[in-house]
Amino acid sequence: MATQSVDRRRCLSCNRWGGERRPGAEPDTVDYDEDNDRGLCQDGPWHGSSRRGPRNACGQWIKWIALETPPPADQPPQP
Given the rule CB under 6 A, which residues bind ligand SF4? 11, 14, 16-17, 41, 44-46, 52, 56-58, 60-61
Q: Please state the closest distance from residue 39 (CB atom) to ligand SF4, in A.
A: 8
Q: Please state the closest distance from residue 25 (CB atom) to ligand SF4, in A.
A: 23
Radius of gyration of the chain from Cα atoms?
A: 15
Q: Which is nearer to ligand SF4, 3 or 60 (CB)?
A: 60
Q: Looking at beta carbons, which residue is closest to ligand SF4?
A: 44
**Gap between the Cα atoms of 9 and 1, Å rounded:** 19
